[in-house]
Amino acid sequence: MLYMPGGGLVRLRESVNGLPESEAKIARYILHHPAEFVNMAVQDLSRASHSSPAAVVRLWKSLGFDGYQDFKLRVASDLQTNPQVQYVELSGDYSFGSILHSVEDSNIQSIQNTLRLLRESDVKATAEALRTARQTVTMGVGASAVVADDIAQKLMRIGLPVSAAHDFHQGATLAAQIHEKDVLLAVSYSGTTTDVIEVAEIAKSGGARIIALTRFGNTPLSRLADICLCVSAVEPKVRVAATASRICALVIVDIVFMDVVNQDKERVYSALEATRNAIVRHKVE
């Protein structure tokens, strides 16, 4: 199946509030006129958004695109999908049906947006780092701990050395003992959780490679990371709980794990068979 990269509009929406004003006004123009943008040259866009060609170049570089054509291609791909619907957790129109549709729409849209942000090179680099690490530590607190535990369980199942931490003290103790041949996989959707950031700083000071599973954008965690795997979630800023962001992070974990498995099939299948045999007697027939 041909993979058509998207994520242009997703990156713009997630980043617009943190961009310099010279770039933000271009971003706002594109978000309001995406169909027109895909047919514009750099000079056309700069005139329409009352900016400069240099600011257009800075924008696509800030958003991590490979070039202006790559930027337009990804926005054009996004336009082929359904428009994003508003997600509401607390509503006066409370019914079982409305909850079902709201959660379904939020998860589907969030997964689609996340997959548009995902770079093949980042997935491959993450899989290779986890597969070859002397030791991997996964770190997440709150709902992110669920994601950290999931990747740790998967790596343990195929015989890779891994530890999981759920608070600063656990994380700091483990991070202080990992070095240049090791990996810290840090999970924080916001990218601003101090426990996770401080553990990442400790691991980085020892030379460990930092992989961040976080939202797209310029955050304290993303600035520390060697590789960022970006999540895009349709959730309100004030959330009842981490819902779509947790699901999307778990989807990324599954994708990375499948890549790890396919890089080393023979050894992985042997480990899976051994672990399956070890626990099979605890299955009720």
Question: What pLDDT is attached to residue 275?
Answer: 87
pLDDT score of 279: 86
Q: Residue 210's beta-bridge partner residues? A: 184
* pLDDT value at residue 269: 84
In this prediction, residue 116 carries a pLDDT of 82
- Output the pLDDT for position 2: 38
**Rounded CA gap, 259 and 251, in Å?**
13
**Domains delineated in the chain:** 8-79 (1.10.10.10), 120-277 (3.40.50.10490)
The pLDDT assigned to 52 comes to 94
pLDDT attached to residue 42:
94
**Residue 135 CB coordination number (10 Å):** 17
Sheet holding 162-165, edge to edge: 162-165, 136-139, 183-187, 209-215, 227-231
Predicted confidence at residue 4, as pLDDT, reads 45
Residue 90, burial from CB neighbour count under 10 angstroms (0-12, 13-18, 19+): exposed
Q: Tokens for 80?
A: 């082929």
pLDDT of residue 285: 75
Query: Beta strands of 41-194 (E only): which ranges?
Result: 136-139, 162-165, 183-187
Tens of pLDDT along the chain (285 residues) come to 334 456 788 888 878 888 899 999 999 999 999 999 999 999 999 999 999 999 999 998 888 888 898 888 888 877 876 555 454 555 566 678 877 877 888 788 888 888 888 889 999 999 999 999 999 999 999 999 999 999 999 999 999 999 999 999 999 999 999 999 999 999 999 999 999 999 999 999 999 999 999 988 888 999 999 999 999 876 554 445 467 889 999 999 999 999 999 988 888 888 888 888 888 888 887
Please indicate, yes or no, whether the overall pTM of this predicted structure exceeds 0.85. Answer: no
